[in-house]
Chains A and B, each alone.
Chain A
């Protein structure tokens, strides 16, 4: 059922840029960073040429930067066959920001464009459903613009000298109005209905009657909100379902209940101060999140990571992947209605890995372990024997056990096979990543496609499955746990002694001006960090490309035509973590 494929090498981004430049002539220019720059009017043509003629069929990341005099929309495109992403930029003026939407070329741009609209107010012409996605409807203001001042913490110069300038000991929030004095509220807002504004003209109008309007024999459709307070949405996530009987006719994911504007806070924090903050993104796969951020900043600073630290990172990240997949398989079964037994068996293994994390980092979930140029602490002496036992003896058995009980279980197969099918073409077009993409038969793993760390030293395979259904995603996860064990078995004996933290020791890092998009393969998919530095002590722009968030773009496509119960299974197979979706 699962197969293991090797990814063919793709051309280097510089070659692609040169070729594009040659083909499209003066419509594109190349800036100093090697990025393609194109005007908004040419954007669609250029992107279509990039996709069709240069094989850049995968929109990895889409975000924007506020340069105070203009907005720059940044696209990272790459090929599903592998290779580093090329950067495409377009600029638009701040007064009336408008950029054509890439929705027609990459459906995966859907949520990412909505996020940029939500945060910057850039309108994407041609987007079919351009409305706020993370902030509440009716929120006045564009939070990631540089002139938007963050509630409670607004200061002219960031980072703050003190969070409590007057030495107050009460919470500043309590003294202010509902949302803080610097928050802009809609004109009609009275504060009586916190968080529930009256719909204004042209926004947030769900035409319930139109959605309900009937089918055969005058029967009605049912419009149901599933979530945010629902047992199986994995957190405060909402799906607005339109049901015909029990069949899903339409589905709209609604998110942002846990939005805390991670990126704005990240831009206020010091560079290193963001490190523990990344733990809060995907709290099931915390160390992978840290690694992505560390990788991005290291590349911007040109830091070398010592051998030992690289090995520690691989060991931690792969342990992390195993425990995360255990968790997601356990809870997928929970979503199928198994009464907690599989998840508790899976959690038992996860707890052991978390014990090891606690031993090495001092914390089970919020590890705060990676540093720019290495890791924070060396492994304690007792760590290696334990991890050896775990990897060589216990884990394999645990995976076999899960595999034996679940993989060929009649009901499990009945519920998972043929449900939520995503074809490979659609999976790529929707920019899905991780087990969702590989479950559709696309052998795309950032560890292989765009290698980082020392993954090229190990012998391992990219696990794929061809069916593209819930069962395929489950099978990919089982296979990946085995591959992670394989990597661990190779990495553990090779572990060298030596330094764990390279570079100059400093409390505050200096990141040279520039930008970089670094990505790692987190258990849930491609986790990317796009950082822009202007040489100051805090990032000028800090963007997280969240795999959960982008994978959700394909949710509606996967769910239509299936039953209510399948929606839960499909959501479970995407395996979202709301901390990362909402950021």
Chain B
């Protein structure tokens, strides 16, 4: 089952850690956002494989934007 991970707030994509095809475990950091004086890791919510990372470093994401898909 594909798990779509979306941004919870407006943020700057500071680091992209994982790539499509990577195997991940629940809790692994996929992407790190920077916003509002905080560093916000975006975590895999299930074990699986990264199908897509939908952002690049330096992108701005809006609340609800797709960040990654894990299956």
Our verdict on whether A and B bind, yes or no, reads no
Residues of B within 8 A of A (CB): none
Q: Which chain A residues have a beta carbon within 8 Å of chain B's beta carbons?
A: none
